Amino acid sequence: MQMQAVKTERNQQGQAGDVVLKVENLSLDFRLRTEILHAVRDVNFELRRGQTLCLVGESGSGKSVTARALLRILDRNGSIASGSILLAGKNGDIDIAPLTERSPELLKIRGGRIGLIFQEPMSSLSPVHTIGSQIIEALLLHRRMNKQQARAETIELLRQVEIPNPDKMIDRYTFEFSGGMRQRAMIAMALAADPEILIADEPTTALDVTTQAEILDLIKRLQVSRGMAMLLITHDMGVVAEVADAVAVMHYGRIVEAGSTDEIFHNPKHAYTKRLLGSTVKLEQNPRASTRATALPADRKPVLSVRNLNKIYGASTSWVGGNDFAVKAVDDISLDLYPGENLGIVGESGSGKTTLGRLILRTVEPTSGQVTYFGQGEPVDVTGLSKRQLKNFHRDVRLVFQDPFASLNPRMTVKEVIGDPLIVSGKVRGAALEKRVGELLELVGLDPMVMERYPHAFSGGQRQRIGIARALALDPKIIIADEATAALDVSIRAQILDLLLDIQKRLDLSFIFISHDISVVRYFCDRVAVLHRGKLVEMGSAEQICTDPQQPYTKSLISAVPHPDPRHKRMMHRTRFTA
Amino acid sequence: MLNYVIKRLIYMIPTLFGMSLIAFMIIQLPPGDYVTSMLATMADSGQNVDPEQLEALRRSYGFDDPIWLQYWKWITGILFRGDFGYSFEWNRPVADLIWERMGSTLALSLASLLFVWAVSLPIGIYSAMRRHSVGDYGFTLLGFIGLAIPNFIMALTLMYFSYRYFGQSVGGLFSPEYVEAPWSWGKFVDLLAHLWIPIIVIGTNGTAALIRILRANLTDELSKPYVITAKAKGLPEYRAVVKYPVRIALNPFVSAIGWVLPELISGVTITAIVLNLPTAGPLLLRALISQDMYLAGSFILLMGVLTLVGMLISDILLALLDPRIRFN
């Protein structure tokens, strides 16, 4: 039914497939302190009415600056070195490239003919203005409306992007919206002036999988009903397979391969495209599934057991009245971790997975419940440990952080970073320390010679290796990895996971792997616990959870994961969970 | 919001009580009392004083009472009768003395605050948007010069120039012929002619500091994604900047109100003395030197009250300006 409505509208506006924007030999330069960085070289592509072009690449490939150059929103030190950006119009094409920054033509194009939505839904809207006022502003800029009309139109737009109670939400502030809602508001704003082209720069990267699926659905529907051309920028091959009509792969500022989605996925020519696809598809299966399931004895003893763990935030009452906003962050969770096992904890943001990790480490005090650690000797009741005893426990149970950039002190050398836990524990110093740090660096696949360098000299993946080496320094028994690969590009992600698996083979280690990324958990973990609103919804082997989920919530979660194969789009017939 | 204000007001009571105790104790700390310092002054000028007369004076002032009793008399006087005590040196009620000076103090402070805002806001925005440009460097240089020159030197310099080139009377807020005259157009013009020197002297420091703060804050905000959103919407750069990041970078301006109020009394004492301004600062200094305890104590207490009120006002304004504060 919807498709028919679409067809009539398209015919009015022009034929689907007409080229609306043509980028020719676009090159972008950035003036740095000592040199000029050629961020983008000789890029060519076309956007067609009603179709989606995906610009794919890893971080630093120049895909985002390319998109921003189309609107001429580059940082002050960036400039278009050569090439043209031709926007089709009724009276011939307009070249955006030579327009001056303040020219009225450019201001009309921005927001009026090309809309932009981008990654950070948390910070891409002003926190001190209401959602409504920010959308109304866009309407007043580009459409002849008075304030009442603009307000009514804004409510209509919010309804189109499926925000509930749009007439009330229009006067709310951004921080009262969830991430997905903000992204919807952002979309409403980008679409306010009915642009011909929508640029979406990683629109769903910061969102949960189910929210991502909904937002992609929404964008697709709006695009089809309005007959817009879309430029979607992403690093996620799964998303590409789900929504793209055509794909351009970027690598080091150049488009290395372009073609239809099917061609790119099933007949990639360039080595880089193959590698990118390889590391995505690789994460689709579990390398340990076949070997592990049988190898484990049935009567094994857990190394860590969690019983009826609870954490309630905001339950305390102050003398100025009670607090009704008690949140059960972790609600009566019990689970066991066995030696040598990788336990995945999966959930969306706000599901309590990170809190659970912190409760186990007791960096956050549990409200009630018990955590027992079976190390050498007597079982240890972690919840009853004193500060000093907790120190010993933390020697055996270590943490790997999410952000490889923020978790390393920029003023410490690699040797100091990795050696720090050794020095704190008072075990090793002097030449022995240096030797141990060297061993650890080799263990994580880095050259021991780098130990005198500072973290800024390393890439994200290398930094995460340093973080892992630090976690391994004290020969831990359990490593809690909280979103340890979330900030990494997909090819690096696979490398780091392989590294962890490899280390696990050599050392007697168990992992608790906290992640929102189903494919990573599937690749890495033996068993998976699914968390939803603080509750343990389902637990089972990774393979079972991913292929044969039992609970409705798990089903909806799994079906929302984009599948990196354009011939088997998964999201379009996913199951929805409402609670 | 109303709950919050009431809560804050209730919290103020114990704070004020503590402040009054501390204020009174500090005044009592130096050895001797007003009679001692009067004796010293009279001895300096060669007068002989009858010890018995001094004793009688002490008794009548109540200096022989224990400290807690003196405090009790003072604080109950304030609370129940609005009586801040009696200034020994001026032989007048403290309240009269303070209020007399408050008008000019308030006018001067407000005028310099407006000057600070009017100058630092546009310069700060310009500096942040055109960082490392010639203009930015020029304003930065001027700002640092303003910060580095001590107020009294600038006051002396400006006085010299205004006398040398404009032929103005030096110091004070009015020319001699207008000091006692009733308000008239002529007196107002004369006030404006005198006011600019103290405003510039008092304001320069704050202006330089606020320019730096605004430049730093705004530079952070300018690279935030919501600025890109505003530009992508089609807003011209200047409007986009003024509407979004400047609004958020304004917080320090509002916070500044909090410390402006106590500065009314104590902040510009040296400038006021050099320029012979009839503000509260010099009066407070004189009261402290001569151990005129009720006058000094009331000033210190008043400064405490103004600090608390100033903080409350700036917090309320911040909440009005920034919904994130209002809703948390």
Phi first, then psi, for residue A144 (nearest 5°) are -75, 95
- What's the CATH code of the domain at B202? 1.10.3720.10
Q: What is the pLDDT of residues A15-44, one digit of tens each?
A: 667 889 999 999 999 888 788 888 899 999
Using CB atoms, pick whichever of B226, B321, B324 lies closest to residue A125. B226
Q: Which residues of B touch A118 (CB under 8 A)?
A: 225, 228-229
Contact between residue A201 and residue A114 where contact means Cβ atoms under 8 Å apart: no
The residue out of B94, B124, B148 marking a domain boundary is: B94
In this complex, do B233 and A173 lie within 8 Å of one another by their Cβ atoms?
no
* CA separation for the pair A402, A404 (Å, rounded): 6
**CB-based contact, B234 to chain A, within 8 Å:** yes
Question: What confidence score (pLDDT) does residue A245 get?
Answer: 92
Contact between residue A540 and residue A519 where contact means Cβ atoms under 8 Å apart: no
One domain, residues B200 and B152: yes
Q: Band the pLDDT of A402: cuts 50, 70, 90.
A: confident
Helix (H) or strand (E) holding B204: helix B185-222
One domain, residues B172 and B313: yes
* Chain centre distance of CA B266: 6
Residues A159, A164, A166, A168, Cα dihedral to 10°:
180
Output the CA–CA distances (angstroms, integers) from residue B263 to A449, A527, B108, B111, B211, in the order listed: 58, 65, 11, 13, 20
The residue out of B94, B116, B132 marking a domain boundary is: B94
Burial code (b: 16+ CB inside 10 Å, e: under 16) for A335-374 equals bbbbbbbbbbbbbbebbbbbbbbbbbbbebebbebebbbb
In this complex, do A138 and B226 lie within 8 Å of one another by their Cβ atoms?
no
One domain, residues B64 and B159: no
DSSP notation for B280-324: HHHHHHHHHHTT-HHHHHHHHHHHHHHHHHHHHHHHHHHHHH-HH
Q: Which residues of B touch A193 (CB under 8 A)?
A: 234
Domains and CATH numbers, chain A: 2-109+123-128+173-281 (3.40.50.300), 300-548 (3.40.50.300)
Q: Is the dihedral of CA A3, A8, A13, A17 positive or negative?
A: positive
Q: What range defines the domain where residue B312 resides?
A: 102-327
In this complex, do A126 and B244 lie within 8 Å of one another by their Cβ atoms?
yes
**CB-based contact, B232 to chain A, within 8 Å:** yes
Give the pair of three-digit tokens for residue A304.
Answer: 């860590």
Q: Which residues of A touch B230 (CB under 8 A)?
A: 126
Residue A319 pairs in a beta bridge with: none
Lowest-confidence region among A144-153, A311-320, B79-88? A311-320
Does position A293 have pLDDT exceeding 60, yes or no? no
**CB-based contact, B229 to chain A, within 8 Å:** yes
Which site among A128, A135, A141 would you substitute to test the B interface, given the most B Cβ atoms closer than 10 Å to its Cβ?
A: A128
Give the pair of three-digit tokens for residue A181.
Answer: 């809602």
How are beta strands A535-541 and B86-87 bridged, if at all?
Answer: unpaired
Residue A40 pairs in a beta bridge with: A28
Output the CA–CA distances (angstroms, integers) from residue A275 to A57, A270, A494, B241, in the order listed: 11, 9, 11, 43
Give the pair of three-digit tokens for residue B93.
Answer: 């009620």
* CA separation for the pair B168, B151 (Å, rounded): 20
- The pTM (predicted TM-score) of the whole model is 0.78
**How high is the ipTM of this complex?**
0.75
One domain, residues B57 and B107: no
Which site among B9, B221, B229 would you substitute to test the A interface, given the most A Cβ atoms closer than 10 Å to its Cβ?
A: B229
Closest CA to A554 of A347, A334, A329, A352: A347
Q: Is the dihedral of CA A413, A415, A418, A419 positive or negative?
A: negative
One domain, residues B190 and B309: yes
Contact between residue A343 and residue A529 where contact means Cβ atoms under 8 Å apart: yes
Question: What confidence score (pLDDT) does residue A528 get?
Answer: 92
One domain, residues B83 and B23: yes
Note down pLDDT in tens along chain B; length 328 residues. Answer: 778 788 888 888 898 889 888 888 877 777 777 777 777 777 777 777 777 777 777 777 777 777 788 888 888 888 888 788 778 778 888 888 888 887 778 788 888 888 888 998 899 999 998 888 899 999 989 888 888 888 888 888 888 888 888 777 777 777 777 777 777 888 888 888 888 888 888 888 788 888 888 898 898 888 888 898 898 888 888 888 988 889 888 887 787 777 766 766 666 778 888 888 888 888 888 888 887 878 888 888 888 888 888 888 888 888 888 888 777 6
Residue range A109-114: average pLDDT?
Answer: 90
Question: What confidence score (pLDDT) does residue A3 get?
Answer: 40
Contact between residue A200 and residue A230 where contact means Cβ atoms under 8 Å apart: yes
Helix (H) or strand (E) holding B166: helix B151-166
One domain, residues B78 and B177: no
* CA separation for the pair A5, A11 (Å, rounded): 10
Phi first, then psi, for residue A162 (nearest 5°) are 65, 40
Q: Give the burial class of B216: count Cβ atoms within 10 A of its Cβ; 0-12 exposed, 13-18 middle, 19 or more buried.
A: middle
* CA separation for the pair A135, B278 (Å, rounded): 53
* CA separation for the pair A423, A430 (Å, rounded): 10
How are beta strands A197-201 and A342-346 bridged, if at all?
Answer: unpaired
Query: In Å, how far is A100's CA from the nearest CA of chain B?
Result: 12
* CA separation for the pair A373, A382 (Å, rounded): 7
> Which residue's structure tokens are 């379009």?
A572
One domain, residues B121 and B23: no
The residue out of B50, B71, B94 marking a domain boundary is: B94
**CB-based contact, A198 to chain B, within 8 Å:** no
In this complex, do B231 and A73 lie within 8 Å of one another by their Cβ atoms?
yes
One domain, residues B250 and B269: yes
Contact between residue B255 and residue B143 where contact means Cβ atoms under 8 Å apart: no
User: How many CB atoms are closer than 10 A to CB A268?
Assistant: 19
Question: What confidence score (pLDDT) does residue A406 get?
Answer: 83
Q: How many CA atoms lie within 13 A of A441 on its CB side?
A: 23
How are beta strands A527-532 and A535-541 bridged, if at all?
Answer: antiparallel
One domain, residues B59 and B133: no
One domain, residues B220 and B130: yes
Q: What is the pLDDT of residues A67-81, one digit of tens each?
A: 989 998 888 888 899
One domain, residues B15 and B50: yes
Q: Is A30 in a helix, a strand, or coil?
A: strand
Question: B232: nearest CA in chain A?
Answer: A110
How many structural domains comprise chain B? 2
**CB-based contact, A573 to chain B, within 8 Å:** no
Lowest-confidence region among A83-87, A310-314, A395-399, B10-14? A310-314
Question: What confidence score (pLDDT) does residue A316 get?
Answer: 53
In this complex, do A129 and B235 lie within 8 Å of one another by their Cβ atoms?
no
Q: Which residues of A touch B323 (CB under 8 A)?
A: 127-128, 173, 175
Give the pair of three-digit tokens for residue A284.
Answer: 């689709």
Q: What is the pLDDT of residues A440-461, one digit of tens each?
A: 999 888 888 888 888 888 888 8
In this complex, do A118 and B228 lie within 8 Å of one another by their Cβ atoms?
yes
